[in-house]
Structure 1
Amino acid sequence: MKEPLLLSQDVHRIYSSKSLKKKFSEKENLQKQYGLTVGKKIFCLGMTLSISQKNKANLLVEIIEGLLEIGFQLVFLSSAEEEFQKPIE
């Protein structure tokens, strides 16, 4: 799994309400940093919340494969409980 190039504390700076006008260029930069296909029309889902039972990560694990099959890009900048690490990787 590729190491994150951004720290989770930086995400609020990159994706704030003040930066909505720049969202496409910021999204493109994020896609480039993680080696993803770059495109404005590709849905990119980012998550900084810890992946845990408390945060209902079991629901995420259930839908993750379907999201990838329909072309979503997923970027997780978070820690994960051991039981969720393998399914998400």
Structure 2
Amino acid sequence: MRNCFLMDQIDFKKLRIMQNEEGVVTELYIPRKCSATNRLITSKDHASVQLNIGHLDADGIYTGQFTTLALCGFVRAQGDADSGVDRLWQKKKVETKQQ
């Protein structure tokens, strides 16, 4: 199984992305990877989507936290998006020991 691709855990220094003196990213395009297949999502893949899945507490109230998943157009075209998101979310729940 592959790890979930979380946008908030990107180390921009390792990716060698242009930054100004204040550390603000100045790149016009930052490549993403598909969370389900680990393929690179190109700038021309207009069928790709990025999902923010909100975390809920035991009462079903939004906690303000979310997990970001990216799906490439290939996965969506094959009809595997739903099962891919379900598989990734189940893995995420096991990693964080939630129910």
- TM-score scaled by length of structure 2: 0.29
Normalized per residue, which structure has more strand? Answer: 2
Normalized per residue, which structure has more helix? Answer: 1
Higher relative contact order (CA 8 A, sep 6+): 1
